[in-house]
A and B are shown apart, each in its own frame.
Chain A
Amino acid sequence: MKAIRIIFKREFASYFNTPLAAVFLVIFLFMCGIFTFQLGGLFDRGQADLRPFFNFHPWLYLFLVPAVAMRLWAEERRLGTVELLMTLPVNMRDLVLGKFLAAWAFLAVALAMTFPIWLTVSYLGNPDHGVIITSYLGSLLMAGAFLAIGSALSALTKNQVIAFVLCVVVCFGMLFSGFPLVLDFFGGWLPAFAIEAIASLSFLTHYEALSKGVIDLRDVLYFALVTGVFLYINALILDWKKAA
């Protein structure tokens, strides 16, 4: 546990030691603003809620989370510091978790910095704060699942661009399987339970449930499970690279 904390501290600080944090936060917040106010038409809707804001999160994360995740292991491999990390007396589990948690905490910081949008809505109307809180929770869980996928794929290569592209593609698949377009396509000929199974694999389905203000344990478990499975795969990939 102690090793996780030390790795976490180093990783988390590394975001702020480089321009990465500043660039990422500015772009993230700028995009949030555009999506919410321009595309989402928050003001025009005349409703005091944050649905336009949260509806865009999956699509925002699709590109921004891989940008954070791609460096997690690919960068270590490129710098050669992976050799240093893996020869330290530290468990693989602690290395993977420490790095993942630092990146997740960084995304949480970015998400927390969107609070002025919440304040705006609260000032203009009387939103349901419970719904907003569960939406934030859903958004954070979804970011974690995206990130775990990215972390695992980043362990495959020392090329960050490859890691980024792989991550976007896999995350897109995870999102798209719940998209009406896909479900309608299957809807014509697959039985209902099969459609439900495909939809239930999607981030969108579970995220939408949470962003409607319903905390269903199954949705939370789903994201936790996806995150856990991909972090486990991450460790397996690192082990496999050692023996390859």
Chain B
Amino acid sequence: MSNNLKALGLRKSFGDIRAVDGVDLVVPAGQVLGFLGPNGAGKSTTMKLVTGFLEPDAGSVEICGDDLLAKPLAAKRHIGYLPEGAPAYPDMTVMEYLSFLASIRELTGATHKSALERGFSLLHLEPVAHQTIETLSKGFKRRVGLAAALLHDPPLLILDEPTDGLDPNQKHEVRMLIRELGQKKTIVLSTHILEEVEAVCDRAVIINRGRVEFDGTPQQLDAKAPADVTSNRLEWVFRDITSTDLQMQGGLK
């Protein structure tokens, strides 16, 4: 099976801080990877590195066989990216915004139209099509961001906290959508919500202080908790892997 995302030895420092310290992410087609870690662990930075927003200090990124540094335009065409916080132009209507992105993604004529229709119906955006983005609720904004990432039907989706700010119904819907899309596409999503990993991911990667601390299936992650832990088992493992020594002494565990 081909690897839609192949990032090897990624390193990135900001001043003295090593945000990403030797991360490998090789994700085959049809896999949904949950990217976990405490705040500041390097999740968003890693995503910025594999989408080409930031350049790594060291390491390589290959998207569907195209090297991101050598052939940035070709590589970027394969990616649909939802940045952290789902940024969008507040003064544009949802229709204008998605239409702008479809045009710049070189979708024209009938493909342009059908891409928009698909985006609107997948994310149920029809009621807000002509509302400006600044007037939308957090949930709708996030859905606009998701629609924007999906427009050009990319083989690789990088989603930074796709369900953040959604209500439980919307969360459920987005998870269903991710699972459905995950049958054909490669999806890397970051989240704080561990149940989400069980619900939608085939694979979980936990990163802490810029390093990969766990890489396996959600079942393997679950198996790391001792048998006497009966509830919130994933949370137990997550804390076990990512807590600092200080926190452990403080009795967090």
Interface, chain A (partner B; CB < 8 A): 2-3, 6-7, 9-10, 13-14, 17-18, 79-81, 83-84, 86-91, 242-244
Contact = CB atoms under 8 A, between A and B. Distances in A.
Contact of A89 (B54, B77, B87): B77
Given A88-B105, A89-B105, A83 B90 contact: no
Interface string B65-92: 0000000111011010101110111111
Interface residues of B, number: 32
Interface of B: 14, 48, 51-55, 72-74, 76-77, 79, 81, 83-85, 87-92, 96, 100-101, 103-106, 132, 148
Nearest to B88: A81
B190 to A, nearest CB: 14
Contacts, number: 68
A88 B54 contact: no
B83 A84 contact: yes
A180 to B, nearest CB: 44
Contacts of A81: 87-89
A143 B117 CA distance: 42
Contacts of A90: 73, 104
11 contacts: A6-B100, A10-B100, A14-B89, A14-B91, A17-B132, A18-B91, A79-B87, A80-B84, A81-B87, A86-B52, A89-B105
B52 A87 contact: yes
Contacts of A17: 91-92, 132
A83 B73 contact: no
A13 B132 CA distance: 13
A242 B87 contact: no
Nearest to A15: B91
Given A83-B83, A242-B53, A6 B104 contact: yes
A87 B76 contact: yes
A212 B165 CA distance: 61
Contact of B81 (A18, A87, A91, A242): A87
A83 B44 CA distance: 12
Nearest to B72: A89
Contacts of B83: 80, 83-84, 87
Nearest to A81: B87
B54 to A, nearest CB: 6
A43 B90 CA distance: 46
Contacts of A83: 48, 53, 81, 83, 87
B160 to A, nearest CB: 9
A91 B48 contact: no
Contacts of A80: 83-85, 87
The 5 A-B residue pairs with the shortest CB-CB distance in the complex, in nearest-first order: A80-B87, A17-B91, A89-B76, A83-B83, A243-B55
Nearest to B52: A87
A11 to B, nearest CB: 10
A88 B76 contact: yes
